[in-house]
């Protein structure tokens, strides 16, 4: 081996070089983050204004356009989604609202761990209650009446590069403030028989208008199922396989969902399932959709797709729910759509 | 909840430790390897800490698909460990194989910046863990070979403590980077790559390899040159027609030959000069280690006993994920604290790794190893029957961390007296792999038991199993011939 002094010199040089590179990438990312908070030329106009959840005829969403209002809840007129955005000062990773009740999932990096919270919002976007979350925000929904709220988070199992995650889905009754921390406490009927397993995961709840029935995805033994559940009876029943992130149409007859194209891949295709006939219709979107779609009305669904060439940003698109037509851009630089 | 066990080969960076002034009882090479592990763990834990958020917010993935990968990978990881151990002995260059493992993991960090599809990301993570599996046995072998037998426990304790320190610093580093640059996941990966490169460089520069001439690296005790060459059993000149016989011959000289060698090593007192001798001895035209010879290790009764006991106890060691989950259910721990539970175990492991390792050297490793499992058993008992008091989580995590401190480094420490030097990495890998595979089987069985009976009975079953296995292990590992 070379003498100790020379090796120490090599080490010192390497430390300097690597520290330089490391500082460089951090500074580069920091300046990019600063730019993201500056309005970009050609971007949409976003202005601060009064945003409430009882303004009819508007579409609320999480604004992803660069500028000071990035990640803030904003809204546009449903009839003219390209017009100027009114932004609130509430920042969310995921958002949903119905009948004057809102839910906002937030995530902030912390010293020891991420700090994740769910905020229950009143119609003025004021926080009524805060709930700590066990993991990274994923899905959020409010029942059509505004009484029930559900959210799903990812919980990473362990440290040490364990590439394993589980989900936890909670349901909140906003009238009694009773929280069901995990749907995994509900009894499961799978293929007509009672079913118990330690590997059950639920995600993507969607509520019916009766404030009892809900639909969700159940995952066990590497298969996903659409389940219909009852909040009062605390049960779920499997209906069909390979259904993720269901979203119930306003008339309660159909469910939009994402179907895995190939097992073990992250490629999905958006479908609509008729709950009476269990017939599936592929929608006209050719891209892989990884989102819980939202019905704008009984004929159209909206969903987020990653913005081309921009990591970490998404656009909202809409497509007819009967499989016809073509996808149309709805709002650029946006996610979490919620028709008010 | 979908649960899988993380593969924890004996000697994987499990959890915790803090550096005490190790004094002159720990060879410099152990401190260097500890530093390499510390740096590498900072790098990998930085990534682990931000990965879920990165997947969801930046790539827009549902990270659930990784569950399957993890399960499959447990088995692969164990086999990779065996391969790494055997290769290191075969090419007689532990540093080279360990370096390849560290290098492979380091290369994966910048790759994370380039992949944006799920499959590719899974492959990169799998590759990263392949590197981890590859380096474990040769790294532990270097620790083992550079330390006199009476200090093995302390040396492994120091290494594990440094290793865990890195694991705890990683998320902290990630936090500061994300605070400086919002959504700067690429910056986290970039810095992680730089840190990983530094770890590999420290290994290359400061861990003595096979080259002649200078182990004066950081040598405190200048090695006595010209110490008598070891007559390593099995490393005889002249190929015997019957390999199996040679192996048999190994089995006996294990007592005579190795102890002899140990005596000389103590006398030489220069751990790394010794290692030098050991590594360079390879150049003396000895024939390479063959697979059959490595397999013949299994004929060593004490190694067989140890591997069987490690596997037996591994079969009833409930995976960490289940422990934390049960603890949360029993103690009613708030959602926001769930992710801090592993940290509790890590802190205890970190604090106790060195003192418990040193204690194992003094009072006997078998005793400490079995006591560690008794601690785990007490933890299970608390989870089963203790009332949900404020103190319950602290007690359970303290016992859990103590279990790691008393087993994770202590198990490889016992092998120094059992496995001949030229097969040390293979021996370590055999024991580590038996334990890892057994733990993986345990998590599958535990999941199944949970499904059928519910969580309480499943844990009670594990506890009863652990008690029986510990009694059997206590009898099998009777201290004869000074396994201590």
Residue-wise DSSP of B288-337: PPPHHHHHGGGG-HHHHHHHHHHHHHHTT---HHHHHHHHHHHHT--GGG
A109 vs B: CB within 8 A: yes
Q: Flag if B60 and A314 touch (Cβ within 8 Å).
A: yes
Q: Using the predicted structure, report yes or no on whether residue B415 has a pLDDT greater than 50.
A: yes
β-pairing, A165-173 with A193-195? unpaired
B chain contacts of residue A7, beta-carbon cutoff 8 Å: 205-206
Residue window 455-484, chain B: list those with CB within 8 Å of chain A.
455
Confidence of residue B58 (pLDDT cuts 50, 70, 90): low
pLDDT in tens, B191-240: 999 999 999 999 999 998 764 333 333 333 333 333 332 333 333 333 33
From CA B49, how far away is CA B175, in angstroms rounded? 9
pLDDT at A157: 52
Q: Which residue of A has its CA nearest to B326?
A: A198
Residue A213 is inside which H or E element, if any?
strand A213-220
Q: Chain A to chain B, count of Cβ pairs less than 8 Å apart?
A: 244
Confidence of residue B10 (pLDDT cuts 50, 70, 90): very low
In the predicted model, what is the mean pLDDT of chain B? 76
From CA B12, how far away is CA B320, in angstroms rounded? 14
Looking at the partner chain, which of A15, A115, A167 has a beta carbon nearest the beta carbon of B64? Answer: A167
Among A199-208, B47-56, B69-78, B251-260, the range with the most confident prediction by mean pLDDT is A199-208
pLDDT in tens, A166-203: 788 999 999 999 999 899 899 999 998 999 887 788 99
Q: Using the predicted structure, report yes or no on whether residue B177 has a pLDDT greater than 50.
A: yes
From CA B330, how far away is CA B332, in angstroms rounded? 6
> Contact A132/A117 with Cβ under 8 angstroms?
yes
Arithmetic mean of pLDDT, A95-115: 85
pLDDT in tens, A288-312: 888 899 999 999 999 998 887 566 6
> Contact B135/B98 with Cβ under 8 angstroms?
yes
Suggest the residue from A19, A29, A179, A257 to mutate for an interface test with chain B (most B CBs closer than 10 A). A29
Arithmetic mean of pLDDT, A102-125: 86
B19-33, B160-174, B277-291, B419-433: least confidently modelled range? B277-291
Q: Which residue of A has its CA nearest to B3?
A: A199
Q: Flag if B64 and A162 touch (Cβ within 8 Å).
A: no
pLDDT in tens, A230-255: 999 999 999 999 999 999 999 999 99
In the predicted model, what is the mean pLDDT of chain A? 88
| Of B290, B342, B293, B347, the residue nearest B319 (C-alpha) | B342
A64-68, B3-7, B206-210: least confidently modelled range? B3-7
pTM over 0.85? The answer is no
SS3 at position A31: helix
B184 vs A: CB within 8 A: yes
Q: Using the predicted structure, report yes or no on whether residue B90 has a pLDDT greater than 80.
A: yes
Q: Flag if B56 and A7 touch (Cβ within 8 Å).
A: no
Q: Using the predicted structure, report yes or no on whether residue A29 has a pLDDT greater than 50.
A: yes
Q: Flag if A111 and B451 touch (Cβ within 8 Å).
A: no
A138 vs B: CB within 8 A: yes
Suggest the residue from A198, A201, A220, A307 to mutate for an interface test with chain B (most B CBs closer than 10 A). A198
pLDDT at A83: 86
Arithmetic mean of pLDDT, B337-363: 91
A37-46, A183-192, B55-64, B426-435: least confidently modelled range? B55-64
From CA B379, how far away is CA A207, in angstroms rounded? 41
Which residue, chain included where needed, has tokens 């079969």? Answer: B315
For residue B44, the Cα-to-chain-centroid distance in whole angstroms is 15
Q: Which two tokens stand for residue B332?
A: 């009613």
Confidence of residue A12 (pLDDT cuts 50, 70, 90): very high
Q: Nearest-CA distance from A151 to chain B in Å?
A: 13
A334-338, B158-162, B277-281: least confidently modelled range? B277-281
Higher pLDDT, B37 or B11: B37
pLDDT at B72: 57
pLDDT at B263: 37
């Amino acid at each position: 081996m070379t003498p100790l002094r020379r090796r120490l010199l090599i080490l010192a040089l390497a430390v300097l070089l690597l520290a330089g590179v490391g500082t460089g990438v951090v500074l580069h990312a920091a300046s990019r983050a600063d730019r993201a908070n500056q309005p970009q030329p050609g971007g949409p106009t976003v202005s601060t204004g009064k945003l409430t959840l009882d303004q009819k005829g508007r579409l609320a969403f999480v604004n992803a356009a660069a500028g000071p209002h990035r990640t803030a809840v904003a809204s546009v007129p449903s009839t003219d989604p390209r017009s100027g955005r009114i932004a609130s000062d509430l920042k969310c990773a995921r958002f949903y609202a119905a009948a004057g009740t809102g839910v906002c999932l937030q995530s902030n990096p912390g010293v020891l761990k991420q700090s994740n919270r769910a905020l229950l919002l009143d119609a003025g976007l004021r926080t009524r209650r805060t709930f700590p979350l066990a993991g990274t925000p994923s899905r959020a929904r409010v029942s059509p009446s505004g009484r029930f709220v559900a959210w799903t988070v990812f919980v990473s199992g362990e440290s040490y590069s364990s590439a394993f995650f589980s989900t936890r889905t909670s349901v909140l009754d906003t009238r009694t403030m009773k929280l069901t921390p995990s749907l995994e406490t509900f009894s499961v009927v799978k293929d007509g028989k009672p079913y118990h397993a330690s590997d059950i995961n639920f995600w993507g709840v969607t509520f019916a208008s009766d404030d009892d029935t809900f639909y969700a995805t159940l995952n066990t033994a590497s298969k996903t199922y659409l389940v219909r559940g009852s909040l009062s009876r605390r049960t779920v029943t499997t209906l069909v396989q390979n259904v993720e992130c269901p979203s119930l149409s306003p008339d309660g007859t159909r469910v939009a969902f994402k179907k895995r194209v190939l097992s073990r891949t992250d490629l999905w295709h958006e479908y609509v399932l008729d709950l009476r006939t269990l017939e599936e219709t592929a929608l006209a979107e050719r891209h892989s959709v990884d989102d819980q779609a939202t019905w704008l009305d009984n004929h159209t669904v909206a969903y987020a797709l990653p913005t081309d060439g921009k990591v970490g940003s998404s656009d909202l698109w809409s497509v007819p729910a009967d499989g016809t037509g073509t996808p149309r851009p709805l709002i650029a630089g946006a996610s979490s759509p919620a028709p008010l | 909840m979908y649960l899988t066990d993380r593969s924890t080969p004996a000697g994987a960076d499990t959890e915790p430790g803090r550096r005490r002034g190790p004094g002159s009882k720990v060879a410099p090479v152990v401190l260097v390897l500890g530093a390499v592990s510390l740096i590498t763990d900072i790098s990998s834990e930085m990534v682990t800490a931000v990965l879920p958020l990165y997947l969801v917010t930046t790539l827009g993935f549902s990270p659930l698909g990784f569950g399957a990968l993890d399960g499959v990978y447990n088995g692969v990881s164990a086999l990779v460990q065996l391969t790494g151990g055997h290769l290191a002995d075969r090419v007689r260059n532990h540093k080279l194989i360990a370096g390849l493992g560290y290098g492979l993991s380091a290369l994966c960090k910048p790759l994370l910046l380039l992949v944006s599809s799920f499959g590719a990301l899974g492959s990169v993570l799998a590759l990263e863990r392949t590197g981890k599996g590859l380096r474990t046995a040769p790294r532990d072998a270097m620790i083992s070979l550079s330390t006199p037998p009476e200090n093995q426990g302390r040396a492994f304790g120091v290494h594990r403590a440094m290793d865990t320190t890195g694991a705890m610093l990683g998320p902290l580093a990630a936090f500061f980077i994300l605070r400086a640059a919002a959504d700067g996941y690429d910056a986290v990966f970039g810095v992680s790559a730089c840190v990983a490169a530094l770890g590999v460089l420290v290994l290359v520069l400061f861990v003595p390899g096979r080259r002649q001439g200078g182990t004066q690296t950081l040598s405190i005790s200048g090695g006595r040159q010209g110490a008598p060459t070891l007559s390593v059993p099995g490393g005889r000149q002249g190929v015997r027609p019957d390999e199996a016989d040679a192996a048999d011959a190994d089995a006996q000289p294990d007592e005579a030959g190795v102890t002899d060698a140990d005596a000389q090593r103590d006398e030489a007192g220069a751990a790394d000069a010794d290692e030098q001798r050991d590594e360079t001895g390879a150049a003396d035209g000895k024939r390479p280690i063959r697979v059959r010879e490595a397999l013949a290790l299994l004929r060593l009764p004490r190694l067989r006993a140890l591997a069987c006991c490690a596997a037996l106890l591994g079969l009833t060691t409930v995976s960490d994920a289940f422990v934390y989950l049960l603890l949360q259910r029993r103690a009613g721990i708030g959602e926001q604290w769930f992710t801090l539970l592993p940290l509790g175990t890590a802190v205890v492991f970190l604090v106790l790794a060195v003192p418990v390792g040193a204690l194992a050297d003094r009072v006997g490793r078998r005793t400490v190893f079995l006591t560690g499992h008794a601690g785990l058993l007490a933890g299970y008992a608390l989870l089963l029957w203790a009332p949900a008091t404020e103190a319950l989580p602290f007690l359970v995590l303290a016992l859990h961390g103590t279990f790691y401190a008393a087993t994770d480094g202590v198990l490889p420490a016992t092998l120094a007296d059992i496995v001949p030097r030229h097969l040390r990495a293979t021996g370590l890998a055999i024991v580590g792999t038996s334990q890892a595979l057994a733990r993986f089987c345990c998590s599958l069985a535990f999941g199944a038991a949970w499904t059928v009976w519910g969580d309480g009975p499943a844990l009670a079953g594990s506890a009863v199993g652990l008690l029986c296995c510990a009694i059997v292990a206590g009898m099998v590992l009777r201290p004869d011939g000074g396994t201590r």
